[in-house]
Amino acid sequence: MPDTFSIRGNVIVLSGGAGLFGRGLVSAIAAAGARLVVASRNVASLEAVAAEEAAAGRAVVAERLDQGDESSVLALRDRVLARFGRVDGLVNNAVLRPMRSPDAPASAWEESMRVNATGLFLMTRAFGETMCRQGAGSIVNVGSIQGMVGPSLELYEGTDMGDPPPDYFFHKGGMINLTRYYAALFGRHNVRVNCVSPGGFFNAQPEPFLGRYCSRTFLGRMADGSDLGGPVVFLLSDASRYVTGANLPVDGGYTAK
C-alpha cells in the first residue's frame, strides 16, 4: 500500500512555487521523490527555491513561464519533454492577483483572466494532451474555497483589508468546472484531472479578521504551508487512481459549516 502513494521518479510540472501555497507544494512534491519542474515569470525566486531543495538532496529545476502566453506554455512543455522525455503530472498553482478591489479598472480584470483563466486552459491542454499520448498522467488544479462559496464580507469589517475583488471568485469557480470538463475529455486516455480548494492561508492578517475566520473553521485555524502538500501528492499518486473530476476542499471544515 505505501508504494501506491509514491511519486518517486515521476516528472511533475508545478506552475508558481515561491508563493504562499507554492513553496509548501514544492517541498512536499520534491520530498516525495518526484523530479519537479517549477515555472513562472519570476525565475530568480524559483531558482532560489530550487537551490534550497537541492541542498536537501531533492531534484527541482526552475523554468521561465508566462502562463497567459501560449507560445511560452508550449515552449515550457517542449523543454520538459526534451529534458525528461515525459511528464507524469501537472499542478496548476500559479495565480496572478492584479485586481485589488471591486472598483479596480477593467484592464486589471482582463489581465487576471489572461493568466488565471486562459492560462489555466493553455497549461491544461498542452500538458494534458501530452499525457494522453503517453496513456497516463494526473493534473491537479489548485483552486480556492472562494470558487465554491460567495464572500463572507462580515469577516473584513473593522479592518483595512477592504472588500475582496470579484475576479478571483470568477476564475476559481470556473476552475472547478473546467476540472470536470477535462476529466471527461482525458479520462478515456487514463489521465485524471482533479481540483483542491484550500481555505485561507495565514499571512499575519489583522484582527478581527483572523479571529472571525478561525472561528468559522472546525479546526479553529487558518492553513499553513504544510497543509496542501499531502492532498496534492495523493492526487498525483496511484493511490488516487480511481479519483477524477473531484474537487477536494482543504479548508479545515470552513465550507462544511
- β-partners of residue 250 are 198
Q: What does the block give as the cell for 114?
A: 489572461
CA-nearest of 1, 112, 130 to 67 is 112
> pTM of this prediction?
0.97
The separation between CA 127 and the C-alpha centre of its own chain, rounded to angstroms, equals 15
* Residue 28, C-alpha cell as written in the block: 512536499
Tell me the CA distances in angstroms from 213 to 144, 150, 166, 216, 246, one per residue in order. 15, 14, 19, 5, 25
**Residue 208: is the preceding peptide bond cis (ω within 30°)?**
yes
The span from the CA of 212 to the CA of 154, in Å, is 9
Distance CA 84, CA 140 (A): 20
Residue 225 has a pLDDT of: 93
Identify the three-state secondary structure at position 116. helix
Give the CA count within 13 Å in the CB-facing half-sphere of 94. 32
Torsion of CA 174, 179, 182, 187, to 10 degrees: -160
* Range(s) of the domain holding residue 226: 2-256
Secondary structure letter of residue 85 according to DSSP: S
How many domains in the chain? Answer: 1
C-alpha span between 213 and 151 (Å, rounded): 12
pLDDT averaged over every residue in the chain? 97
C-alpha cell at 58: 531533492
Q: Look at residue 166 and tell me whether its pLDDT is greater than 90.
A: yes
Residue 70 scores a pLDDT above 90: yes
Express each pLDDT in 237-251 by its tens digit.
999 999 999 999 999
What are the φ/ψ torsions at residue 155 (nearest 5 degrees)? -65, -30
- The pLDDT, as a whole number, for residue 3 is 86
Q: Would you state the pLDDT for residue 2?
A: 74
- For the stretch 26-45, pLDDT in tens is 999 999 999 999 999 999 99
Interatomic CA distance for residues 62 and 226, integer angstroms: 21
Per residue in 174-231, pLDDT tens?
999 999 999 999 999 999 999 999 999 999 999 999 999 999 999 999 999 999 999 9
- Whether the predicted pLDDT of 17 surpasses 80: yes
Helix (H, G, I), strand (E, B) or coil at 93: coil
| Residue pLDDT, tens place only, 88-134 | 999 999 999 999 999 999 999 999 999 999 999 999 999 999 999 99
Q: Residue 20's pLDDT is what? A: 87
Q: What CATH number is given to the structural domain containing 81?
A: 3.40.50.720
